[in-house]
Each structure stands twice: as C-alpha cells, then as structure tokens.
Structure 1
Amino acid sequence: MPFSVLVDTKYEEEAPPTAPDLYAALADLGHELHFTEYIRTRMPLPDQAQALRLPEGVPLLHIIRVALTAAEKPLALGEFHLPGDDLELSFRL
C-alpha cells in the first residue's frame, strides 16, 4: 500500500488491517474502490500441490487482485492460489 495513503491516519502508527477489512478501512478513509483481478491457471509447484492437497494433474488458479481508486491509483495488492478443480468463474459481460 502506498505510504501516502496512510499519511494523517491512524495507520501511520499501526499496521492497516488485512483484506477484506482493509477494503472497509480504505473506504472509511474516503476512497471509492474498484478491483481488477488477473487470473491464470498453471500447474502447481510440488509444495503448493501438497499444501493445497491437490491430486496429481489438477491445476491451480493464480489470482492477483488490485484495489484501485476511482482515479485508477493502485492502493492494495492481494495474491492467492486456489485449486482449479472445484471452482467455477463467472464474469458479467
């Protein structure tokens, strides 16, 4: 998170919360947020397959979520991995 976002807030002295509470905290600071997610599939590394308990041959979803202001300024970045065999993605067009 850019330090300039935290100037003159209580988060100068304390760590901001983690997502999803982070998004509420940013909204409380007056930011109108929207998100962009970058999603790709790939085969997991051996330790990822073990940690996610993925059967052999199951891909994972690698998701990067960027929280942006109305002016497209990035405020927060989240990255996570999900099993690709039990999820369904839906996009409104």
Structure 2
Amino acid sequence: MPPPPPNLYAALANLGHELHFTEYLRPQMSLPDQAQARRLPEGVPLLTILHVTHTPEFKPLAIEAFHRAGDDLELSYGR
C-alpha cells in the first residue's frame, strides 16, 4: 500500500518523477441517504474533488477522491 500524501508525493519525487497536479470538481445535489449520512442541510450541494497526480505527459501516478459539503469549502486556484 502506498504512503499517504504528502509522503506519497515525496516518494514519487524520489523515484525521479516530475509531479504535476490536476483537480476535477463536480458539484451535485446529494441523494437523501447521502445527505443524512453526511449531515448536510437541505439544499447544500456535495462537491466531489478528484485530485490527480501526473507526469508532464499526463501519465497518472496517483488519484485521490474527496467529498466535501458545498457550504463548508472555499476553493482557490492560482496559476
């Protein structure tokens, strides 16, 4: 089993990989059982964040998925 981030990124870099990251965001309204399990108030979307670590050639090295409440997260991306 690979180490958790950020140790995973250090291990991949130590293997000589040049790391790049891309995140894909997908907001969706939760199904009733999802909202209940996550204790989401009515009308709050669920964000699915897919974090892909890849080489400059877009060869995936690691994929992580996160789920967050849409009212509990502020995202900012720089260039």
The TM-score bracket by the shorter chain reads 0.7 to 0.9
TM-score by length of 2: 0.84
**What are the ranges of 5 or more consecutive residues in structure 2 without an aligned counterpart?**
none
Give the number of aligned pairs: 79
- Specify the alignment match of 1:36 in structure 2: 22
Larger fraction in helix: 1
TM-score by length of 1: 0.73
Letter of the 2:32 partner, please give it.
Answer: P
Identity %: 67
Larger fraction in strand: 2
**What are the ranges of 5 or more consecutive residues in structure 1 without an aligned counterpart?**
1-14
Greater radius of gyration (CA): 1
Q: 1:24 to 1:51 in 2, by over 3 A?
A: farther
- Specify the alignment match of 1:64 in structure 2: 50
- Structure 1: which 4+ aligned runs deviate by more than 6 Å? none
Q: Distance in 2 between matches of 1:41 and 1:22?
A: 27
Deviation at 1:23, TM superposition (A): 1.4
- Specify the alignment match of 2:34 in structure 1: 48
